[in-house]
Amino acid sequence: MTNKEILLSALRYEEPPRVPWVPYVGVHGAYLIGKDADEYLKSADLIYQGVCIAKEEYNPDGLPIVFDLQIEAEALGCELKWAKDNPPSVIGHVLNDVPLSELKIPTEKDGRIPVVMEATERLVKEFKDEIALLGLICGPFTLGLHLMGSKMISKMVKNPDEVAEVFEFCSQVCKAMAEMYLKRGVEVIAIVDPMTSQISPQMFDKFVLNSYNPTTELVRQYNGRSLLFVCGDATRVVPNLCKVDTDGFAFDENIDMAYAAEEARKHRKVFCGNLPLTVGLLFGEVEDNIKFAQDCINIGRGPGFVLAPGCDLPYHCSVENMKAVVNLVHQG
Amino acid sequence: MAKKVLIEMFTLDSAGCAPCTYAKEAVEEARDEIGGEIEIIEHKIKDKAAVKLMQERGVSKIPTICINGDIVYESIIPPNDELIAEIKKRMKDDGNGCCCGGDCC
């Protein structure tokens, strides 16, 4: 089996011959090629180079094309603050100035979407059947917060109809972004919605659960696979994650792997995780990371498991630590 | 007399992690709405010192919001009015005319 087939097998809830491994290289790709994150995320050429180096260095079964949850928000008119060693963050929420009725679903010409799609086309052509590429899109809840700001949390209680309308719009944005990736040959769509760890299970079901459906249905039409990425302590919503219409979910070290594995397996859901980002890959020693990875593998081994970091790798993530995980995956 | 309030946030990095970004934004909005002496400090666990402090303080989740040393919100972004109430509670005198918590005057 090729690396790509190993990952796709796990995403079909099968058990491949070895544990699949997907390092979430985002701005760490900029670090690997000696560039700043802001320059990297604005250049199709640099993204292409970063992903190519990540493939050589980390022998993955799949890689994200870009890990930047602000692309859609920027295309919709939100103001960003750029950083040298982080993805940008949203500092201006467009719905503070413009009514929802005036926002249009982004197209391939808006914001940095053309940059991302150019990188996608080159990477799909380059890797073809070697590794799977993951098209990451900003989930409806997180995008809603980008558009409205943190007052959305209060409005979920005080003005739920207004929030539901924003979610409906964001859900259509997700679908549109997913289609841009799918029609270029990307086979795995990851809906990244980290904010879902910050709400109750009841709020999750009321606002979030069905908001993924337009995207997941589209992914199936293209014979692709879909994942939901969360981060933070989403323990209380793990049963909700199992009800989401994606093939599975990915989570960080704030969730106990044994618990997530047990819940996922009850529902035949794929689960991806959860190497610790800071105490492990960023600051830990090689031996720590081998142990963290071995612990994950021991718990996760079986159908539908993918070894992955908890979230987007930090810019300065230790290459030595990453390679220790790579060796464990490929040599046992 | 209102007491000074210290809000400490343990984050991955509010510049690069959406839950941390919006937790910080919620705290800053509450501070601006209340006015008064409210200091906000962000401990980013991308710094080793913050990881150590997090362990010392018994904080295990990010983002966590501590008010005057109390862990008040772990991995949840509170609604604005709830957060304001938690901050105001800690700004009040203790009721016996002492503005320092009762030990110094």
Inform me whether the C-beta atom of residue B77 falls under 8 Å from chain A C-beta atoms.
yes
Average pLDDT estimate for B17-32: 93
Inform me whether the C-beta atom of residue B69 falls under 8 Å from chain A C-beta atoms.
no
Give the tens place of pLDDT for each residue, A38-66. 999 999 999 999 999 999 999 999 999 99
**Superfamily of domain covering B5-91:** Glutaredoxin (3.40.30.10)
Q: In sequence order, which ranges of chain A are alpha helices (DSSP H)?
A: 3-11, 28-32, 37-40, 44-58, 71-75, 113-127, 140-148, 151-158, 160-182, 201-203, 213-221, 238-241, 257-266, 286-300, 319-331
How far is Cα B69 from Cα A27, in angstroms, rounded to an integer? Answer: 34
- Across the interface, whether the CB atoms of A153 and B46 are under 8 A apart is answered no
Nearest by CB to B75, from A151, A197, A312: name it: A197
* Whole-number percent of chain A with pLDDT over 90: 95
Residue that has been written with the tokens 């979920």 in this structure: A156
Indicate the fold that domain A3-331 takes in CATH: TIM Barrel (3.20.20)
pLDDT of residue B1: 63
pLDDT of residue B96: 43
Round the average pLDDT of chain A to a whole number and report it: 96
pLDDT of residue B17: 87
Nearest by CB to A233, from B25, B75, B81: name it: B75
CA A219 to chain centroid: 15
pLDDT of residue B103: 44
The DSSP element (H or E) to which B25 belongs, if any, is helix B18-34
Of all residues in chain A, the one with the smallest CA distance to B62 is A232
Phi, psi (5° rounding) for residue A329?
-65, -45
| Bridge partners (DSSP) listed for residue B5 | B38
Is ipTM strictly over 0.90? no
List chain B residues with CB under 8 Å of A149: 22, 25
Which residue has better confidence, A184 or B101? A184
- Across the interface, whether the CB atoms of B46 and A278 are under 8 A apart is answered yes
Average pLDDT estimate for A102-130: 97
CA A209 to chain centroid: 17
Coil, strand, or helix at residue A2? coil
Give the tens place of pLDDT for each residue, B82-104. 999 999 999 885 544 344 444 44
Helices B18-34/A151-158 angle, 10° precision = 80
Q: Is A25 left (phi over 0), alpha (psi -120 to 50) or beta?
A: beta
Inform me whether the C-beta atom of residue A256 falls under 8 Å from chain B C-beta atoms.
no
Domain range annotation of chain A:
3-331
Average pLDDT estimate for B53-73: 94
* Whole-number percent of chain B with pLDDT over 90: 62
pLDDT > 70? residue A158: yes
pLDDT of residue B46: 87
List chain B residues with CB under 8 Å of A80: none
- Across the interface, whether the CB atoms of B16 and A199 are under 8 A apart is answered no
